[in-house]
Structure 1
Amino acid sequence: MSKDNDVEITKGMQEYIDLNNKYLSDRNRYIRDVVKKWRFDTIAVHGLYTVSDAIEDYQGAIIEPIFMSTAQAYRDSDEMAAALAYKIPTWCYSRIANPSTYYYEWALALLEGYGYDGDTSCCSTSSGMAAITTAVQPFLRVQKDGSKLRNFVATAQCYGGTFQLFTVRLMQEQDIECRWVVDATDVNEWASKIDENTRFLYGELPSNPQQGFFDIKAVADLAHSHNLPLICDSTIATPALLRPICHGADIVVQSATKSLTSSGFGIGGAIIARKNLVTNIDDDQLKTDFSLYVKYYQNRDLGPNMHPMQAIMSLNDMRTLRSKMDLMSRNTMKVAQFLEKHSLIDSVQYLG
């Protein structure tokens, strides 16, 4: 599989490409004309799994099947060649993609993009930390002038695993500087950390466990003014409560392990990105569809993919996401109000 996709297209390959282009056109029209008009809960329940999918492809199964197969068979060598060149949207090999993860990814892409005018896409990962690692790596590549110290700017209030990744794996082991923002509500502090070698801005909100928050639009505008992307971790909120892309963020990372599924049945993650994101990295494929880029190259080469069974289990948990988050929020508010009035409690930190 060549990143440049500079393969000679045979007549047989072109027939498959034309056929799949029609499929993509029909799918995009269905998303635009039908799915984008649904309410949040309807998307959570159905995602992109249609009655046609069920009847024509999956013997009428009313929910998405679990595809345990490691790889995909093809009709002939032309179809395989087109697939391996990434000219047609087949799944090929489960380290890259899989029909089960396909439905999980589309559900999340649509939920994170709910209310957003543009297009979003998603790449599933084996965990939330895999999502963060996979999301930041493409922006930290060494440029032609390797003498310049790469850096990025991130909120100091963040998940412990994220702090370990940024501090030890990146700063100590790879000499990539993380510039911490102590007061994330101060846009001027963000701005003071940016220079010509900054690759991206990263923020977690609400942060785990301190409940830190910041103005997404203001920070996104700042990032874009420097031709940088803003990456947000909104694991705690989920798209039921917060959709950073709608406020200007370029990429969202999610740990499906926590609020998104909340059942305790496994580890998972996801990267959701808007199309045509802002970055100073000179790579058209990365800019055009970041989630597809990391799926085709990062996931393929590093292997942080989600298991098909986990994809369907997580997808099933997501069907009642909004009602679960509503109940969780109301119960948390009751606990916070109780603690606030308690004589032994000095202060309560709760964004609700």
Structure 2
Amino acid sequence: MTATLDEPLGFASAQVHAGTDVDTAFGARVTPVYLTAGFVFDDFEQARDRFAGVDEGYTYSRSGNPTTAAVERRLAVLEGATSAPDAEAIVVGSGQAALAVAFLGILQAGDHVVSAASIYEGTRGLLRENLGRLGIEVDFVRNANDPDAWRRAIRPTTKALFGEPIPNPKNDLLDLETVAAVAREAGIPFIVDNTLATPYLLRPFEFGADIVVHSASKFLAGHGSALGGVVVDAGRFDWSARPDAFPHLNTPQRALGGRSYVEAYGRSAYAAYTRQVVASRFGPTLSPLNAFLLQQGLETLSLRVAQHSRNALAVAAWLQVQPEVASVDYSGLASSPHHELAGKYLPDGQGSVFSFTLRGGEPAARAFYDALRLFSRMTHLGDVRSLALHPASTTHTLLTEDERLANGIGPGLLRLSIGIEDADDLIRDLARALDAVRALTELPLAG
């Protein structure tokens, strides 16, 4: 019995059923964990056919595994929905691996990337340092919602545009349709890191993105117990329109019998190349056990993210009226300069990760941070538990002070990832932390 039905499924149904079959051997309803490095061949001919791609069975878990394949199919459905029915997902070992694989499926030495400036600091380091060592250049657009700023940054060697719909940690939303339109004009794929929004709140393919990546370690898995990443190709970009720009997809390949990836796979050429040549050869393989945990997390994604978002709005609204708080960066607040974009792209909730700034600078941030009890002090996000971090002294510590300030990371800024606990309990914990700030700064009590 297959769980993939003929009629289209709503999101909540798809997150439970899409892409899985009942195990034919024993009738297990949940996809088993296939903890095996390799797979036995029936005979000489089957082994040859599998390596030739004639038989679609499995050979080695670095190249494919039934547990990881099931979660790939589900993720493709959740991100693709009706806007990208040919979407294909590739799961890998972490979110950073997903970004590296996504870029290396397109870029080569001499190429250029244009990225929004407001992005996760680990991604900035990957673009500037790791890809830079390979001869790939990057420029960052500070006013990321200005289409002309993107156009000015594009060169003849530019091969990808990149951004985050909900940037980490500043929550300064990206206008996806604006950037996608520029990408289409230039014949360049638009890559989007959708980790903080998840496909429940936002499906970037519906707004013109070509490739979506996630750190699946975050909201998709949801419980802080497993690492994983995913690259999802919409299967819509025409890689043949500029063959000189993407030669690896348009030149004959011995492995394909003299055909190019475009000839063999059409608009799925990128997904095929990225899976077969980049992910398989570099080897950032997702463990089948982590794939299993990811699939379990996906089954409750909408329930969790809805609660995350409700709690985040309640916490952000409470923080913005506290006298010790200078500003709150959350697009769900009417006071946010990005509130209008939130209405367009995130009508079902604005996510749970945002930052706020205390007036007392680093001493206030230190007192606040150390006084937290319910919030976990750790570098992670998207967990069912609420988490807190001081970016200036942790994730952004390698930047100079001027660079941090240019990116809006002041000494009093704290990042929160709001979990699914009771909002009243979270606010009580934050109030206790603000008491510690008041004791430090001798500010009068509110009210």
TM-score by length of 1: 0.84
The answer to whether the 8 Å contact 1:121/1:292 transfers is no
Task: Tell me the distance in 2 between the aligned counterparts of 1:238 and 1:108.
Answer: 11
1:274-320 C-alpha deviation (Å, 9 max, x unpaired): 11424431315264243332221212211011000000011101100
The answer to whether the 8 Å contact 1:122/1:292 transfers is no
- Secondary structure class of the residue paired with 2:20: coil
1:48 matched residue in structure 2: 19
Task: Tell me the distance in 2 between the aligned counterparts of 1:315 and 1:351.
Answer: 29
2:6 matched residue in structure 1: 33
The answer to whether the 8 Å contact 1:229/1:278 transfers is no
**Whose radius of gyration is greater, 1 or 2?**
2
Higher relative contact order (CA 8 A, sep 6+): 1
Task: Tell me the distance in 2 between the aligned counterparts of 1:58 and 1:103.
Answer: 16
- Secondary structure class of the residue paired with 1:225: helix
Q: Which is helix-richer, 1 or 2?
A: 1
1:62-108 C-alpha deviation (Å, 9 max, x unpaired): 10000011111222222222211223322211001100000110110
**81, 95, 100: which one pairs with 1:133?**
100
1:24 matched residue in structure 2: none
The answer to whether the 8 Å contact 1:216/1:247 transfers is yes
2:284 matched residue in structure 1: 304
**124, 127, 144: which one pairs with 2:91?**
124
1:329 matched residue in structure 2: 309
The answer to whether the 8 Å contact 2:83/2:205 transfers is yes
The answer to whether the 8 Å contact 2:77/2:85 transfers is no
Q: Any unmatched runs of 5+ in structure 2?
A: 240-244, 251-260, 333-447
The answer to whether the 8 Å contact 2:92/2:98 transfers is yes
Task: Tell me the distance in 1 between the aligned counterparts of 2:177 and 2:302.
Answer: 24
Q: Any unmatched runs of 5+ in structure 1?
A: 1-26, 143-148
**158, 161, 179: which one pairs with 2:122?**
161
Deviation at 1:271, TM superposition (A): 0.4
The answer to whether the 8 Å contact 1:158/1:208 transfers is yes
Task: Tell me the distance in 2 between the aligned counterparts of 1:292 and 1:306.
Answer: 17
Task: Tell me the distance in 2 between the aligned counterparts of 1:111 and 1:58.
Answer: 27
- Secondary structure class of the residue paired with 1:212: coil
Equivalenced residue count is 311
Task: Tell me the distance in 1 between the aligned counterparts of 2:278 and 2:84.
Answer: 28
1:330-349 C-alpha deviation (Å, 9 max, x unpaired): 00000010011112222211
**4+ long deviations beyond 6 Å:** none
Task: Tell me the distance in 1 between the aligned counterparts of 2:302 and 2:270.
Answer: 27
- Matching residue's letter, 2:20: Y
**51, 56, 78: which one pairs with 1:89?**
56
- Matching residue's letter, 2:274: V
1:108 matched residue in structure 2: 75
Task: Tell me the distance in 2 between the aligned counterparts of 1:290 and 1:323.
Answer: 33
**277, 282, 287: which one pairs with 2:237?**
277
Which stretch shifts more, 219-228 or 322-331?
219-228
Task: Tell me the distance in 2 between the aligned counterparts of 1:129 and 1:246.
Answer: 24
TM-score by length of 2: 0.67
Q: Percent identity?
A: 30
1:164-186 C-alpha deviation (Å, 9 max, x unpaired): 11111122x22321010111111
Task: Tell me the distance in 1 between the aligned counterparts of 2:90 and 2:11.
Answer: 20
